[in-house]
Amino acid sequence: MTLYTEKGSITIKTAFNDCDAIGWSVLDGSVIFRATVTKFSIAKGLIKRYCKIVTGNGEDYKPTAYRTFNNVLSQSY
């Protein structure tokens, strides 16, 4: 899934797919993903690129821990 957000002249692209799944939420059992976020503008070019953990619908995932597919409890970063 690729989500685009506009904030003034800056475009924020959040991209992830099924291959980016890293585990599931301890709270509700939903699958979580490592998404790549790219901030850019036409005038300035690439501004910032980083990774974050999101849910299947692209919302930020903020709990302190999650389970990997090997059933290991991991810390969120």
Residue indicated by tokens 């059933």? 71
Distance of CA 67 to the CA centre of its chain: 16
Closest to 25 in 3D by CA, of 72, 63, 77, 70: 63
Residue 43 CA to residue 9 CA, distance in Å, equals: 8
pLDDT in tens, 5-35: 999 999 999 999 988 899 988 888 889 999 9
Contact partners, residue 29, CB within 8 Å, separation at least 6: none
Task: Tell me what percent of the residues of the chain surpass a pLDDT of 70.
Answer: 97
Distance from C-alpha of 39 to C-alpha of 22, rounded to nearest angstrom: 23
